[in-house]
Structure 1
């Protein structure tokens, strides 16, 4: 090699050395950046997911609460013509409870009814086992056809204060769903 080419060769070696070092530094920086971004994602992702799920969960809970309130309201609306008769001895109504209550209610409550009877859609005992003799009788659920009849019956029962059938005390109550009953119990 000639003396004039030696400086050029050294310059070429230096250029390639600089390029190699630059490439390694770039790789190291990129690798470090990838590790840091992965670590950042790994550390921040659970917090992000947790906050997202928490927001979604609270949204679903809110919708569920609204739906339960609507169901409760609909059930109470469907029961607004119902009356619960508590204390009537088992079997007093015979085999046809609707016919018994149509005539017995106006007679017991001394109220004026059209044709001497109240219009009932249906009635039945509470859906539990028949109690043994001497135990408290099951309640009777009356489904009145008209809401006005229910109002008149409840007013007449309040006026009468103490009602009895063959010596057994009788109580008339509204038949509504749980939350309303709990609330009215607190307010009494």
Structure 2
């Protein structure tokens, strides 16, 4: 058996046959070239089947073209896009309007809550009377602690603190006018606890404490006989040293006291705080702001507006009304430089 000869040429990769896939529109878009008719004398059988005429492919491509036309016709036009954008803008504006409305409602509710939180707490109706009575009794205790004090108004600031006691002592002796009294014991004497007023402003009041209450009461009885006392070219006025709460109440009832003075109706102040008028054997009293209308009605006086001196409630301290402003506490000893409040853990380890 004879073996075949090996090829001496270089080996090459065999090529794969190219397969052409035709689409339904290829024959319509690229019609085939007409071929020459075979010779009549040739009786050899054809090697390939005869190609179909191009006219047979045209009816098959019509549905594809119609489908393509329908797809193109279904695409949105410029007017459709404009309408879509308009609908989107309208819906977005509607939602934004709803959001703005909700934010405005929340802002209104928040403002109402803030205003309500800033208001002082309201006491129950059953406790208002009890709170007012407790307030009056605390004010009475404050006034009792001041019962030995005398307030002098009109003494110039030129009188130094060193000469203040001597000057007040001579003023009291002049007002009493009793040769038998040659000494008035004073526990303390000082200016009101306020900053020094500027030039031309009224001077600060002088507050002094007389050791003997009987002597103080006698001095105030004589002092009430005049509005002002001229002592050493000074126009002086003497008052009881009252608590800020009592002064605020008397200031609020000034319209009522003016009516009483115009009608020449005698009245008196009482402690715990009250304003009392005794007419035809009947006592009419004001203890709270709510008592003013009944008081005016019983005395046949016209109605006047009176502010509520207890309006401060729990949020305002009577001791700080019209008195010395409170300052934050300060250290009695200065802190050493370079010394921290608490050593760090690293410093302890070193």
Could you state the TM-score of these two structures normalised by the residue count of structure 2? 0.33
Residue 71 (structure 2) aligns with: none
Residue 129 (structure 1) aligns with: 195
1:141 alignment partner, one of 207, 211, 216? 207
The offset of 1:95, in angstroms, is 1.0
Q: Say if 1:113 and 1:128 are closer, same or farther in 2 by CA, change over 3 A.
A: farther
State the Cα deviation string for residues 48-80 of structure 1 (Å, max 9, x = none): xxxxxxxx8234433322221111110111112
Residue 76 (structure 1) aligns with: 143
2:239 alignment partner, one of 153, 173, 176? 173
Secondary structure of 1:116's partner?
Answer: coil
Which structure would you say has the larger Rg? 2
Q: Say if 1:164 and 1:81 are closer, same or farther in 2 by CA, change over 3 A.
A: same
Secondary structure of 1:132's partner?
Answer: coil
**Inter-partner Cα distance in structure 2 for 1:127 and 1:95:** 16
Residue 131 (structure 2) aligns with: 64
Could you state the TM-score of these two structures normalised by the residue count of structure 1? 0.58
Instruction: Work out whether 1:151 is the aligned partner of 2:217.
Output: yes
**Inter-partner Cα distance in structure 2 for 1:172 and 1:82:** 11
**Inter-partner Cα distance in structure 2 for 1:142 and 1:173:** 11
Q: Say if 1:97 and 1:168 are closer, same or farther in 2 by CA, change over 3 A.
A: closer
Residue 168 (structure 2) aligns with: 101
**Inter-partner Cα distance in structure 2 for 1:69 and 1:151:** 23
Structure 2's unaligned 5+ residue stretches are 1-122, 262-350
The offset of 1:98, in angstroms, is 3.0
**Inter-partner Cα distance in structure 1 for 2:133 and 2:227:** 39
**Inter-partner Cα distance in structure 2 for 1:93 and 1:101:** 12
The offset of 1:139, in angstroms, is 0.6
The offset of 1:128, in angstroms, is 0.9
State the Cα deviation string for residues 11-65 of structure 1 (Å, max 9, x = none): xxxxxxxxxxxxxxxxxxxxxxxxxxxxxxxxxxxxxxxxxxxxx8234433322
Structure 2 contact 176–219 (Cα < 8 Å) conserved: no
Q: Say if 1:160 and 1:68 are closer, same or farther in 2 by CA, change over 3 A.
A: closer
Q: Say if 1:151 and 1:113 are closer, same or farther in 2 by CA, change over 3 A.
A: farther
Secondary structure of 1:135's partner?
Answer: coil
How many residue pairs are counted as aligned between the two chains?
132
Structure 1's unaligned 5+ residue stretches are 1-55
Structure 2 contact 154–235 (Cα < 8 Å) conserved: yes
Greater CA deviation, 174-183 or 75-84? 174-183
The offset of 1:97, in angstroms, is 2.8
**Inter-partner Cα distance in structure 2 for 1:160 and 1:63:** 39
RMSD, aligned CA? 2.7
Residue 86 (structure 1) aligns with: 153
2:178 alignment partner, one of 103, 112, 120? 112
Secondary structure of 1:69's partner?
Answer: helix
